[in-house]
Amino acid sequence: MSRISSPADLRALDRESLNELASEIRAFLVQQTSRRGGHLGPNLGVVELTLALHRVFDSPGDPIIFDTGHQSYVHKIVTGRAGDFDRLRTRNGLSGYPSRAESVHDWVENSHATTSLSYADGLAKAFALRGEHNRTVVAVIGDGALTGGMAWEALNNIAAAKDRPLVVVLNDNGRSYAPTTGGMAQRMAALRLKPGYERLLGQVKSRLPMAPVIGRPLYSALHAVKSAVKDWFIPQSLFQDLGLKYLGPIDGHDTAALEEALHSAKGYRGPVLVHCLTRKGEGYSPAENDDAEQMHSPPAFDPDTGLPIAAPTKTWTSVFGRKLATIGAERDDVVAITAAMSGPTGLGPFAEAFPDRMYDVGIAEQHALTSAAGLAMGGMHPVVALYATFLNRAFDQLLMDCALHKLGVTVVLDRAGVTGEDGPSHHGMWDMSLAALVPGLALAAPRDAATLVQELDEAVAVDNAPTVLRYPKGAVPQDIQQLRRVVAHDGRLVPAAGGIGAVDVLAEPGAGHDHDVLLVAVGAFGALSVEAASRLADQGIGVTVVDPRWALPVPAALRLLAIEHKMVVTIEDGGRSGGVGASVADTLADLDVPVTVLALPQEFLEPASRGDLLQDLGLTAKDVARGITERIAERATADARNRSAAAPVDTAPVNRAPLNGTPTKDKRTAGEG
């Protein structure tokens, strides 16, 4: 590894040195990801494939685009970034995904799946239009990503352009694949990729049918034999049916075979699919023996055993998973749907208990939501579990397929808000802004385990509109017991047991304190807000902290509570524009109560720990308390200034002293005015 600083260095290695390098890279990956976690399994599986790609293609002139990008660690190593891995997935460190800011070899910062083929299609078109015909675009996509519709939309276009050099590398690491097929299929594929073969085939097609008597029957017979042989030896005939040249399957851990196949694909100068069979977690036994995920993205672990270093904690995900399984036992109409994330979203217990009511649709969030709509139409209540960042991909289906039809579909969003080290594409900060646009939709943001359980029960009870539950990544905080729960009824606040519209009061001003501030804490900011209220009470500022529970639509009880206070402050782990705070401000616009929205800026936030990012953004108890104090002071100053400006002015003339005499007393200076 010490000799590799660019792809050019790889081309000087002999086969023995190349194998040695692959072993060194695997050991390096295990050591580096063990420190703070990362995508280990996928990268162990693409070591030889990545080396072959960089030996055959001339990056960055030939763009290599990794779908999702979590398997780009080896690519980073051979493009000169091995020395930066000590700061992998840290602030100002090495990104866990391709990053244009890091290297010219990283063309796109894609960490949402199924996008690579569309990027590649666009690049190939651009090169063709610019006359840069010597460049080849390479897209590396996994078999899992091909479950997404966007990939097939791109393939439909790629296959239609017979003269644009574009190589699709299918990294097939599914555990159900067959052993590498020998000789015949690879030889046939290599033959088909030779331009001379294409010319010969064209001549046969045009001339053989013209032969007297036997021409057309012989041509048909030859064509039938050729197709039958292809279908027998080549398992992925579907790609050829689309019009793509197909090469493979290739052993994805055999660099010589990989290079031969990739050279053939590059020489074809048209769209080719190279099918590579790889093994996720290859070369590291703890990953190979991890039946669930092959250590896809482990937290920090012991490199000798592969076991996590930190003790297990109760997470939001596990609380949701256990509760949904309980609901499933109580209601046989509840079904679960996920987009290739059954384990990470907590659906394991439900799937184990009710396998016939569990649907993993692959990386296809759009389909997941519309299929859920169909299930709801058919009398079921679907619960769709996604990462919050991936709801972006299914907004149209949530709006037009679920909400428009007033269907009871529950969407549960894991990893909402600031998620930390995975960076801008994985911060789940857009969901509340999107949800606020959807008519009839109700969104809950539980503050702790108890409210998550309650609100999930309330969500699946709604059968005439979509509902959304969202919660952050990681451990669940301690439960925060409400002082009281209220709901608006006939223009006043009355006690409530729960349900949409009920608001929890978490803290109130002490005796002798005014009701200065109504602090609306959305979701996991409940504990932070209670702490901020305590800090403000020490300064004589009375704060009422409320958890709106179902934050969208804005509960009517919040309006009644706002009237009792001098100022409203909202705090949420979502985008400032169009989120809960913006909805609260809109709801209270006709009241003489100022609203301050504390939220995430509409920016792509860098990778960093959740705590560090929230501190940077001023979303800590100390910062919130200080900000409210400053706003109260500013408001007091402004009110005083306004009162002074509005005070009556005495317009009577003032007796002034003659220039050479003793002045007459002005009544005002004498204290009589």
φ, ψ dihedrals at 600, nearest 5°: -80, 140
Query: Which of 83, 111, 115, 112 minimizes the C-alpha distance to 97?
Result: 111
φ, ψ dihedrals at 581, nearest 5°: -60, -45
User: Within 13 Å and on the Cβ side, how many CA atoms surround 462?
Assistant: 27
φ, ψ dihedrals at 197, nearest 5°: -65, -40
pLDDT of residue 660: 37
Tokens of 577: 């524009």
What tens digit of pLDDT does each residue of 316-369 get? 999 999 999 999 999 999 999 999 999 999 999 999 999 999 999 999 999 999
Query: Which residues are known to be catalytic?
Result: 280, 365, 393
The stretch 282-310 carries a mean pLDDT of: 91
How far from 451 is each of 246, 325, 367, 479, 498, CA to CA, in Å?
53, 17, 30, 8, 10
Is this model's pTM higher than 0.95 or not? no
Percent of the chain with pLDDT over 90: 73
pLDDT higher than 80, residue 203: no
| CA atoms of 395 and 441, how far apart (whole Å) | 12
How far from 607 is each of 315, 433, 573, 587, 630, CA to CA, in Å?
21, 21, 16, 34, 30
Q: Is 138:64 a contact under the CB 8 Å cutoff?
A: yes
Query: Which of 614, 553, 409, 473 minimizes the C-alpha distance to 37?
Result: 473
Query: Which of 33, 44, 96, 73 minimizes the C-alpha distance to 306?
Result: 33
Per residue, what are the HEC states of 548-569? CCEEECCCHHHHHHHHCCCEEE
Q: How many CB atoms lie within 10 A of CB 452?
A: 22
pLDDT of residue 396: 97
Band (237; pLDDT cuts 50, 70, 90): low
| CA atoms of 308 and 37, how far apart (whole Å) | 9
Q: Is 100:25 a contact under the CB 8 Å cutoff?
A: no
pLDDT of residue 425: 85
240-265 burial string, b = 16+ CB within 10 Å, else e?
bebebbbbbbbbbbbbebbbbbbbbb
CA dihedral (620, 626, 627, 629) in degrees, to 10, reads: 140
How far from 475 is each of 231, 384, 386, 449, CA to CA, in Å?
51, 22, 18, 10
pLDDT of residue 223: 53
DSSP 7-22: HHHHTT--HHHHHHHH
**Residues pairing with 528 in the sheet:** none
What tens digit of pLDDT does each residue of 564-619 get? 999 999 999 999 999 999 999 999 999 999 999 999 999 998 888 888 899 999 99
pLDDT higher than 60, residue 479: yes
Per residue, what are the HEC states of 560-616? HHHHCCCEEEEEEEEECCCCHHHHHHHHCCCCCCCEEEEEECCCCCCCCCHHHHHHH
| CA atoms of 673 and 665, how far apart (whole Å) | 12
pLDDT of residue 668: 30
The stretch 208-222 carries a mean pLDDT of: 60
Q: How many CB atoms lie within 10 A of CB 643?
A: 9
Task: Return the ∠ at Cα 270 (arms to 265 and 272), rounded to 5°.
Answer: 45
